[in-house]
Structure 1
Amino acid sequence: MSGVVTLSPKQAKSIAEATARINIWSGAVRSGKTIASLLRWLMYVATAPRGGSLVVVGKTNDTIARNVFEPLMDPALTGPVSRRIFYNRGAPTANVLGRRIEIISANDIRAESRLRGMTCAGAYVDEATLIPETFWDQLLARCSVTGSMIFCTTNPDAPNHWLRKRFILRQGELDLQFWHFVLDDNPSLDPAYVANLKAEYSGLWYRRYVLGEWCMAEGAVYDMFDPDRDIVDTLPLMERWIGVGVDYGTVNPFNALLVGVSVPDEHGQRRIYLASELRYDSKKERRQLTDAEYSKRLQHWLENIPASHGPGTYGVRPDWLVVDPSAASFITQLYHDGFAPIAGDNSVLDGIRTVSNLIAAGNLKVHRSCEGWLSEIGSYSWDDKKAAAGDDVPIKLDDHALDAGRYILHTAQAAWLPLLEPVPAY
């Protein structure tokens, strides 16, 4: 079935050995674990016992479409079999090799109810560490048809995560097979891409997403930040003002950060700059501002930032205005005042990883005037108590400017990421 692609020895071995009730592929990003698991899932669907439902599970419908069905329906992976896989993004069911497949998103503990009353003959679980533990337990109970099997992938998480403690570490006790992949296990990757990926990750993210280790988040969140390297006193010419990130606060500080992408340097490389900061601390000022007052200050700030059109010119018009998603009333006020704000993506870990990768690769520079952001980054740390319980959570203290930066950098990633590709020399 996999004749279109060339499998690595580890991929082939995992497919051949995935005969347990629970089969888990874990490891680095782009290490080949997902391809191996999907091919094994297809083989299972072709021969799965009747008398029960087949299920595909993921955190959201979007991740299921992207991580599961886009590869399955790609002829480069599954060849002629791709023509026997039918799925529309967001649909509650799919058809794979003539079998009906139930699609279930499991984004929170309420998802468990979607399994109630179901009898399953097998399941594929994408990003298993993101699935609620109660849902996983219910899925195991529902896979009651004789010969039913579960296949799942995951990136490494905290060492005390329930999936590792209750299942992976008990491989010898349970009917379970487990495979650990590292980035170098995928020989089909371009060596330049592998080298870049290794350079872009550091610390916690390097250990998890390159080495595939289950390691604890501890110490400083942005331990890769180097003030001598990453703080600048002078801004270069900007090619594009990507946007502004806003962390809204009334009692807590209000923060806005302007992000720009520079013109290519002598090596053809653009970089992202935190160029300017608007900060208002009501405790220090002894006065809280209204939404309308914050909106007016934001407008005045943008109008008086030196532009990139030459000396003596002022005013920038960023492409994006990304706001703290919990600040509904402020977003409404901004619309009223002629802005076009959007609610930021508040996926904390994903956002932290985006910022971390930029810093580690040397692609994020911070102007010295961004005093709030610079004052917060050194003390921004992981919560040791929650890490010990298996949860990656930063301590929620003095992080307002950092949140503003995370909102704009993570939410607008599609806008700036292509610009960081080096400009070819002719």
Structure 2
Amino acid sequence: MLRDLPLPLSRKQIASIVESQSAPIALWSGAVSSGKTIASLIAFLIALVAAPDHGLIVVVGRTLQTIERNLIDPLQSKHLFGPLADHVRHTTGSTTATILGRTVHLVGASDARAEGRIRGSTIALAYVDEATLLPHSFWMMLLSRLRVGAESRLLATTNPDGPFHWLRRDFLLRGTEVGLTNWHFTLDDNPSLDPAWVERLKAQYTGMWYRRFILGEWCLAQGAVYDMFDETRHVVDLMPYMRRWTAVGIDYGTTNPFSALLIGQGEDDHLYAVSEYRHDSKTALRQLTDAEYSRGVREWLAAVRRPGEHGAARGVRPEWIFVDPSAASFMTQLWTERVPGIAPAINDVLDGIRSVSVALGSGLLRIHRSCTGLLGELPTYTWDEKAAERGEDKPLKVDDHSADALRYALHSTAHEWRGLIDYEEATGAAA
């Protein structure tokens, strides 16, 4: 099977593939893009051929969509798997696939309720994508379902998390006791990567994210969330002409502050937090209704001065207005008033923080000095160390309203702006 693969494999990848065939629980962990997924998928295909006929074959990920993107799509790539790709059949949205003639069940496990999807099953072979993102209870239920004696196997991949995460605490550090074998990968273990691309990838991450996703360390989330924020680098008084008014992010609040941030793409292809609208009911001694907030946002956007244009040109129409998804009544108010471009923000907190970190760390994002609410929050936005000791990465929910608005706007449009990063600039700044 290995001879049919078009991509080169490192010695570590080959060793992990061979050694994993005798491991009850095999785990590939380490840096992003380090070759661990390809090695684990090859090991899975070999294990699939040898799996007993009785018992289910399951592939588990956070959602069905992530399974399709992270696993099924690569397996169907002839660039990666050559002629083996012809033997992977799947209809988008289906919860089963046919791989090498075997029926494979695809199980999304985004919360603890997902364990009901495998309860009562007898599983012969399981593959888990991004194990640290699974609920602990689901992982334990999955282990209990591996009931085909010594022939049952579990293969898994993960990027590192905090050092107190249950996967490290209860399994990695007790590997011999629980039958787990782990292979740790770094970027240097992937022989198929272009060195220039590796440098660009390194430029995307700073601080904790660099240690976890580039160095592959299990490190604690502590201190400032945006430890790469530097006023001298990120805060500006002058802005160029905006070729796009990309988005507004809105964090809704009644007793807490209501914050809206306007993001534009300048003619220099940097992103700018151009202007901020903020209402703090505690300071103003008055709460506003949804209709009043809607009017306030519309009047604010109509009054925003457009930089880089002659005269005092004012008024912008952003392509998108991303609203805190829990603020259903406010979104309904905006829709009723036919405000264009309204959509619920993508509210994956950690992924969103990573997107903001990439924008700040690469130097892509700059913030106008008038955004005082955001500039007051970014330096003091910190990780919850008590949560970290429980194995959870969570920021403290204190003074985070403008920071959340920024996260909504940037993460919801990340697929559009990542290509704007100047990696030479980012690499030089990191150095």
Q: 1:119 aligned to 118, 122, 129, which one?
A: 122
Structure 1 contact 241–318 (Cα < 8 Å) conserved: yes
Q: 1:103 aligned to 96, 102, 106, which one?
A: 106
Residue in structure 2 matched with residue 13 of structure 1 by the alignment? 15
CA deviations 1:244-280 (Å, max 9, x no partner) are: 000011111110000011113xxxxx21111100001
Residue in structure 2 matched with residue 290 of structure 1 by the alignment? 289
1:262 and 2:263 are equivalent in the alignment: no
Matches within 5 A, 1:242-391: 242-264=246-268, 270-308=269-307, 309-339=309-339, 340-391=341-392
Q: 2:146 aligned to 131, 143, 146, which one?
A: 143
Distance in structure 2 (CA, Å) of the matches to 1:131 and 1:422:
33
CA shift for structure 1 position 420: 3.7
Residue in structure 2 matched with residue 164 of structure 1 by the alignment? 168
SS of the counterpart of 1:123? strand
Residue in structure 1 matched with residue 159 of structure 2 by the alignment? 155
For residues 198 and 421 of structure 1, do their structure 2 counterparts lie closer, same or farther at Cα, with a shift above 3 Å needed?
A: closer
Could you tell me which amino acid in structure 2 is paired with residue 314 of structure 1? R
Distance in structure 2 (CA, Å) of the matches to 1:83 and 1:74:
9
Residue in structure 2 matched with residue 218 of structure 1 by the alignment? 222
TM-score (norm: length of structure 2): 0.95
Distance in structure 2 (CA, Å) of the matches to 1:80 and 1:186:
22
CA shift for structure 1 position 200: 2.1
CA shift for structure 1 position 422: 7.9
Residue in structure 2 matched with residue 240 of structure 1 by the alignment? 244
SS of the counterpart of 1:366? strand
1:92 and 2:95 are equivalent in the alignment: yes
CA deviations 1:158-211 (Å, max 9, x no partner) are: 111111111111122232210111122212212111112222211100000000
SS of the counterpart of 2:392? coil
Matches within 5 A, 1:399-414: 399-414=400-415
SS of the counterpart of 2:191? coil
CA shift for structure 1 position 148: 1.2
Residue in structure 2 matched with residue 267 of structure 1 by the alignment? none
Q: Which runs of 4+ in 1 moved over 6 A?
A: none
Residue in structure 2 matched with residue 395 of structure 1 by the alignment? 396
Could you tell me which amino acid in structure 2 is paired with residue 97 of structure 1? L
Residue in structure 1 matched with residue 211 of structure 2 by the alignment? 207
Residue in structure 1 matched with residue 31 of structure 2 by the alignment? 28
SS of the counterpart of 1:172? helix
Could you tell me which amino acid in structure 2 is paired with residue 17 of structure 1? E
Unaligned segments of structure 2, at least 5 residues: 425-431
Could you tell me which amino acid in structure 1 is paired with residue 277 of structure 2? L
Distance in structure 2 (CA, Å) of the matches to 1:232 and 1:59:
39
CA shift for structure 1 position 103: 1.1
Residue in structure 1 matched with residue 429 of structure 2 by the alignment? none
Could you tell me which amino acid in structure 1 is paired with residue 17 of structure 2? I
Could you tell me which amino acid in structure 2 is paired with residue 349 of structure 1? L
Q: 2:136 aligned to 133, 136, 140, which one?
A: 133
Could you tell me which amino acid in structure 2 is paired with residue 183 of structure 1? L
SS of the counterpart of 2:178? coil
CA shift for structure 1 position 363: 1.1
Distance in structure 2 (CA, Å) of the matches to 1:238 and 1:53:
55
Structure 2 contact 164–390 (Cα < 8 Å) conserved: yes
CA shift for structure 1 position 357: 1.2
Structure 1 contact 245–258 (Cα < 8 Å) conserved: yes
Could you tell me which amino acid in structure 1 is paired with residue 58 of structure 2? V
Distance in structure 2 (CA, Å) of the matches to 1:107 and 1:296:
37
Distance in structure 2 (CA, Å) of the matches to 1:137 and 1:256:
42
Q: 2:42 aligned to 17, 32, 39, which one?
A: 39
Distance in structure 1 (CA, Å) of the matches to 2:336 and 2:419:
32
Structure 2 contact 200–423 (Cα < 8 Å) conserved: no
Could you tell me which amino acid in structure 2 is paired with residue 190 of structure 1? D
SS of the counterpart of 1:315? coil
Distance in structure 1 (CA, Å) of the matches to 2:29 and 2:233:
35
1:192 and 2:192 are equivalent in the alignment: no
Structure 1 contact 242–416 (Cα < 8 Å) conserved: no
CA shift for structure 1 position 116: 1.3
Distance in structure 2 (CA, Å) of the matches to 1:116 and 1:305:
55
Unaligned segments of structure 1, at least 5 residues: 265-269
% identical equivalent positions = 52
CA shift for structure 1 position 418: 3.0
Could you tell me which amino acid in structure 1 is paired with residue 49 of structure 2? A
Structure 2 contact 249–409 (Cα < 8 Å) conserved: yes
Structure 1 contact 320–412 (Cα < 8 Å) conserved: no
Structure 1 contact 372–401 (Cα < 8 Å) conserved: yes
Distance in structure 1 (CA, Å) of the matches to 2:97 and 2:200:
37
SS of the counterpart of 1:173? helix
Distance in structure 2 (CA, Å) of the matches to 1:200 and 1:92:
34
Distance in structure 2 (CA, Å) of the matches to 1:310 and 1:414:
32
Could you tell me which amino acid in structure 2 is paired with residue 57 of structure 1? V
Could you tell me which amino acid in structure 1 is paired with residue 204 of structure 2? E
SS of the counterpart of 1:251? coil
Distance in structure 2 (CA, Å) of the matches to 1:421 and 1:91:
39
SS of the counterpart of 1:403? helix
SS of the counterpart of 2:73? helix
Aligned length: 418
SS of the counterpart of 2:176? coil
Structure 2 contact 35–185 (Cα < 8 Å) conserved: yes
SS of the counterpart of 2:315? coil
TM-score (norm: length of structure 1): 0.96
Structure 1 contact 64–126 (Cα < 8 Å) conserved: yes
Structure 1 contact 53–118 (Cα < 8 Å) conserved: yes
